Structure 1
Amino acid sequence: MLLNHRIARPDMTAEDVEMWRTLVADRSGLFFTDSRLYFLGQRLWERMRQHNLASYMDYYRYIMLDRNGEQEWAALLEGLVNNETRFFRHEPSFAALRERVLPQLWQQQQAQNGLNLWSVGCSAGQEVYSLAMLLLETAVFPPQHIHITGSDISGSKLAQAKNGRYRHFEIRSLPEAYRRKYMREYQQGHDQLFEVRSSLRQITEFRYLNLQAPEWHTTTQHDVVFCQNVLVYFSNETRLKILQRLCERITPGGYLFLAPTDVVSLRLPGMRPVYFPDALVYQRVAHTATEN
């Protein structure tokens, strides 16, 4: 029997805050600032009610000691990760990629035999499929030379990304012409669904990745990396480590796209800022230090 949903969420003590901040940061790298503690408390309380646990300490012990603790941690993490996204979310970045970056990469001999892109924190796949549509539309590179990888920490979002199926509200930002060309519309019960066509599936793949993990198990070099609206959830120290590791996986001459809200005034070894209107972009100009 679940706890009464009308029972008010208990306040988090300073000890509760420190305990949960530490656990979440150690396991996922996510850092909750004071301004986001309410969100953290809400997500904890939602899971606590599922298990009839009335205190944050009891829930902590459940995750740490119960035989189902790992499964519960995965469920909690799903709620802590902000998966809000949409197709072509940051238009200035896509404009820079379409109008400037792709033509420049085509002129570089090493990119003409294949173009590798990586969407970090891809959520349910909207960014990956947006990149795929843009590349197919611009036709700078032939489809057989394009490979786009999406990675995320959320198992449920990766499953949706692999399925490539979306409800009508999830494709609200997708241009009508793209929807007709790259989506198959069908009815499932009372739901109107849209599924990506094979032309997008053939050039995309999805993988699980915890950015905080000691090893990333990927040595692929990428010509373009999109890491937008992801770094804002990490501490400054973790953010810099992630960026350094991302830069190591970018080919010389390749590009890193960040969200303007993610990072301000960071100097990245081997990278130089490139000006595009309303976009935050770096280009790799030299090899970075050896991976940590």
Structure 2
Amino acid sequence: MNRIPLTDADFKYISKLIYQRAGIVLADNKREMVYNRLARRVQSLSFESFTEYLRFLEINPGNDEWQSFTNALTTNLTSFFRESHHFDVLKEHAEKSRSNYKVWSAAASTGEEPYSIAITLSDVFSMKHDAYQIIASDIDTNVLETAEKGIYKLEQVRELSQEMVHNYFLRGTGQRSGMVKVKPELASKIKFQQVNLLANEWNVPGPFDAIFCRNVMIYFDKETQERILKRFIPLLKPGGILFAGHSENFTQLSKDLYSKGQTVYGTLKDKK
């Protein structure tokens, strides 16, 4: 199949659309990535050019293809207990709470982060009824579908202890051999929902004891980053904490936050 040309005008317009819809900034060096991800959509819908595909989106603002467009251009890199020190901090923080501990995983991707949060909190609260609740959200509906199923390759949990795998996962047999599935009692602690952080309303049931927003801000410009952080702060309970990715520094973006450790933040309203 011949390569469909991606013109400068097409790339510029794609960059404009994904910024408006998801706040993602596409640098020029992302051009090949954009091509590889969107060319499949163009071809699957039998369009002869990116221009034709983009014109279709423009004249059909409510079409489901807009979600596929967004899904194709979001990046989802995650793993269980990624940046493991965060879960040590979370455990210590949760141990000071008696019940009704609430966490928001604001970029849940394929689910490894919220399930890691759930495992951590289950070790604290022993799966007590209503002891904790996790909201797991993402803009990408495809990854949310994967997350909600809670099925992973055995190699994806190889870094976890055998005890942890035994306690929180079911091993597949037969055609499911080589796979694991999150146990229902753990999965029940998590509510998955689509949330676009650029939306005017998030419809999440705060306030939260902790918010995870890791390795997301790096895709936004400074203005968008500042606006999102400003909205996080009132969603934190007194003494609540906010987790960032390893390459993100929230104190440079918000005067209302202070560092409580490596990429962990509290609000100045709580600081004595």
Query: Normalising to structure 2: TM-score of the pair?
Result: 0.89
Task: Give the residue type in structure 2 aligned to 1:72.
Answer: E
SS at match of 1:122: coil
- C-alpha change, 1:45 and 1:263, in structure 2 (3 Å) is farther
User: 1:55–1:282: structure 2 CA closer, same or farther, 3 Å change rule?
Assistant: same
Q: Write the letter of the residue equivalent to 2:266.
A: Q
Which of 76, 85, 89 lines up with 2:78 in the alignment?
Answer: 85
Gap regions ≥5 residues in structure 2: none
2:5 counterpart residue number: 10
Quick one: structure 1 residues 25 and 251, their matched pair in 2 at CA, closer, same or farther if it must change by over 3 Å?
same
Are the equivalent residues in 2 in contact too, given 1:229–1:258 (CA < 8 A)?
Answer: yes
Distance 1:76 1:171, change over 3 A: farther
Alignment partner of 1:32 is 2:18:
no
Counterpart in the other structure of 1:203: 189
Quick check: 32-41 or 227-236, which moved more?
32-41
The answer to whether the 8 Å contact 1:136/1:143 transfers is no
Q: Distance in 2 between matches of 1:46 and 1:23?
A: 18
- In 1, are the aligned partners of 2:94 and 2:101 still within 8 Å (CA)? no
Identity score, percent? 26
List per-residue Cα deviations over 1:157-192 (Å, max 9, x = no partner): 222222222222333433322111110112363653
2:248 is the alignment partner of 1:262: yes
Instruction: Check the 8 A contact 1:122/1:128 in 2, yes or no.
Output: yes
Q: CA deviation at 1:121?
A: 0.7
- Given that 1:232 and 1:263 are in contact with CA atoms closer than 8 Å, whether structure 2 keeps it comes out as no
Match of 1:231 in 2: 217
Bigger mean CA offset, 173-182 vs 242-251: 173-182
SS in 1 for 2:130: helix
Q: Any gaps of 5 or more consecutive residues in structure 1?
A: 288-292
Amino acid at match of 2:183: R
Task: Note closer, same or farther for the CA distance 1:233–1:188 as it changes in structure 2 (3 Å cut).
Answer: farther
CA RMSD of aligned residues (A): 2.3
State the shift of 1:220 in Å. 1.2
Contact 1:124 1:157 in 2 (8 A): yes
Q: Is the 8 A contact 2:248 2:263 kept in 1?
A: no
Contact 1:102-1:140 at 8 Å conserved across structures: no
Give the CA deviation at 1:142. Answer: 4.7
Alignment of 1:112-123 (within 5 A): 112-123=98-109
Kindly tell me: are residues 41 and 112 of structure 1, through their superposed partners in 2, closer, same or farther at Cα, counting changes over 3 Å? Answer: same
Q: Does structure 1 residue 73 correspond to structure 2 residue 98?
A: no
Shift of 1:269: 4.0
Letter in 1 for 2:209: D
Deviations 1:100-148 (A, max 9, x none): 4334xx1xxxx43421111111012111111111122244895531111
Does 2:171 match 1:185? yes
Which residue of 67, 89, 94 corresponds with 1:102? 94
Q: Indicate conservation of the 8 Å contact 2:99/2:130, yes or no.
A: no
Alignment length, in residue pairs? 270
- Comparing 214-223 with 183-192, greater Cα deviation is found at 183-192
Partner of 1:157: 143
Match of 1:286 in 2: 269
The alpha-carbon deviation at position 16 of structure 1 amounts to 2.2
SS in 2 for 1:30: coil
More displaced 10-residue stretch of structure 1: 239-248 or 136-145: 136-145
CA drift of 1:221 comes to 0.2
Shift >6 Å, 4+ stretches = none
**Partner secondary structure for residue 121 of structure 1:** coil
Residues 116 and 222 in structure 1, CA contact (< 8 A), matched pair in contact too = yes
For residues 185-206 of structure 1, the C-alpha deviation after alignment (integer angstroms, 9 at most, x for no partner) is: 1236365321111331232211
Is the alpha carbon distance of 1:138 and 1:145 closer, same or farther for their aligned partners in structure 2, counting shifts above 3 Å? closer
**Aligned partners of 2:250, 2:191: CA distance in 1, in Å?**
31
Q: Hey, what does 1:137 align to over in structure 2?
A: 123
Q: Would the aligned equivalents of 2:150 and 2:182 in 1 still touch at CA under 8 Å?
A: yes
